[in-house]
Structure 1
Amino acid sequence: MTLIKSRLALGLAALVGSATLIAMPLSAQAAPASSDPATWPCDPSEFCIYHDTQGGGAHYSLADGASNLAVLAGGLNDHVYSVKNISGDSWCLYKDAGYQNEIMVILDGQALDLSAPVRDQVSSVTEC
């Protein structure tokens, strides 16, 4: 009886191990390369802000400025962790609503993760 249980346990372990080895490469291939800014969601000719790094999380594609991120859904006020600018113009990030207290300029063509403390302070954005 013990020999049968041992063989059954060994067979199940081998089966589970094989399934894990097969599943790992498939899931790795299916994951998008979010570190590539070209894959970050952003409408053509707009400026995009993202809640998370690497263009992840809630985001907005902006053709016009946003004077108060606190009134928009997505929790981006004081939580803009990445940006992508394909608008054709430079965009400014501001510490306060109403385009007050500029903290950074994002040039056309830039896509980057923001570092602290900037990422924790953005409350409005517009072309500049």
Structure 2
Amino acid sequence: MRHKLLGAAATIGAIGMVVAAAPTASAATGYARCPDNRMCVFTGPNGSGAIGIFANGDVNLADGTGPTGLNNNIESMRNRTSGSWCFYKDTSYNGYVWRGGPGGGANTIPAATNVISSLKRC
């Protein structure tokens, strides 16, 4: 009888371990990947593709000091800050093309799609 009880306890313990190992929530996707108080840009439409997350901006997306792969490769954004952000086709905040206000996510306007080389709060 003692062996049967130990076997049952081991089975219950194994089941409990499986339940504990199961994920409790799914990973965020799309625009939901953008954390609070940040500007996020995405290489694909509707928050898809690679993500770049910014607190203050980037003077040169091609220089390799910030997220890589974003220069002239941005198709959507989500602004989770309280202010607007400006997007520029050239480095050093030159060649203004678009302003993204606070709120939900959006695809870039055609004039800004895949041409952005710098961005900042404005």
SS in 2 for 1:117: helix
2:119 is matched with 125
Q: CA deviation at 1:75?
A: 1.5
Asked if structure 2 preserves the Cα contact closer than 8 Å seen for 1:59 and 1:74, the reply is: no
1:47 is matched with 39
- The unaligned stretches of length 5 or more in structure 2 are 1-25
Separation of aligned partners in 2, 1:70 and 1:59: 15
Normalising by structure 1, what TM-score? Answer: 0.66
Q: CA deviation at 1:33?
A: 7.2
Structure with more helix by fraction: 1
1:104 is matched with 98
2:75 is matched with 81
1:92 is matched with 86
Aligned: 1:66 with 2:61:
no
RMSD of equivalent CA atoms: 1.9
Identity of aligned residues (%): 28
- The unaligned stretches of length 5 or more in structure 1 are 1-29
Corresponding letter in the other structure for 2:37: S
Cα gap change, 1:48 to 1:33, in 2 (>3 Å): closer
Instruction: Please say which of residues 66-75 and 56-65 is displaced more in the overlay.
Output: 66-75
Q: After TM superposition, what 4+ stretches of structure 1 lie above 2 angstroms from structure 2?
A: 71-74
Please list the CA deviations of residues 18-70 of structure 1 after superposition, one character each: whole Å capped at 9, or x if unmatched.
Answer: xxxxxxxxxxxx9x874xx4x3x111111111111111111111101111111
SS in 1 for 2:46: helix
Corresponding letter in the other structure for 1:51: T
Normalising by structure 2, what TM-score? Answer: 0.69
